[in-house]
Amino acid sequence: MEQKDNQIAIVTGVSRLQGIGKAICTILAQNGIDIFFTYWLEYDEAMPWGVQENEPDLIQKEIQSYGVRCEKLTLNLKEEGAIDLLFYQVNAKMGAPTILINNATYSTSININSITSQELEAHYLVNMKAVILLTSRFFKNFNENEQGGRIINLSSGQNLSVMNEEVAYAVTKGAIDTFTRTIAQEIACKRITINAVNPGLTDTGWLDDAQKEIFLKRCPMGRIGKPEDVAKLISFLVSDEGQWITGQILNSEGGFIRELYE
């Protein structure tokens, strides 16, 4: 897929070498797209999978090895002013972005009995508010051109089945599908497309051997999804070939069986 020059992509939530964000950055860089990514190590450090402090540096070096520009910024999307800071840095260091990938997410296991105001707000600030405000700023900042712009929101398949013990995550990520459909026509005046992509079950280092054995029974292709799988779909959507696709929710799940009957 041929890319045109002067493409600049913002990708949020790129902390880990095994993560989906890193895979997205890598494939876009291989297609000649300059990358500006954000990360917030404090979140991943608190998660079971963890993260090494130097992983964003290693990701940046790999991206630069493909001959493109790459800048990074540690950014807490829950903080007021984070979006202003991000776009100031991108415009100052690289120029006006043409691609926005809303990949950052916040997720903790909470059910309706244990949910708190603080945890609900944390999910909302990252999974909804940041995505909406980033999209708005991208639209206002975008300089219309022949190729147009691209926005990709990472969804989570909430329209396909329930997600037990994840009430705050499920409702905030589910809202992104509605947001994507709602504004697709509104932003088309600048030739900007917007789509949501559900990566499905993806092995980014959070699955142990017992979980893999269970989930493999639901994977008809005989393997669990890899970060590169969804990255390839996103690469297509931001290319010239993807310019007529907008307002869609795409599920990159490899035929994952959500209801397993034995």
Please list the active-site residues.
169
Specify the DSSP class assigned to residue 122: H
**CA 184 to CA 194: how far, in whole Å?**
6
**CA 248 to CA 151: how far, in whole Å?**
11
Cα 124 to chain center, whole Å? 16
> CA 172, 232, 192, 186 torsion: positive or negative?
negative
- To the nearest 10°, the Cα dihedral for 262, 162, 199, 78? -150
Both tokens of residue 115? 């949910």
Question: What's the alpha-carbon Rg for the chain, to the nearest Å?
Answer: 18
Both tokens of residue 221? 């292709």
Residues 6+ apart with CB under 8 A from 7: 32, 33, 34, 98, 99, 238
Vertex 122, ends 193 and 20: CA angle to 5°?
50
Nearest in space to 31 (alpha carbons), one of 61, 11, 8? 8
Q: Identify the burial level of 135 via C-beta atoms within 10 angstroms of its C-beta, where 0-12 means exposed, 13-18 middle and 19 or more buried.
A: buried
Q: Where are any strands of DSSP class E within 54-200?
A: 70-74, 99-102, 149-154, 192-198
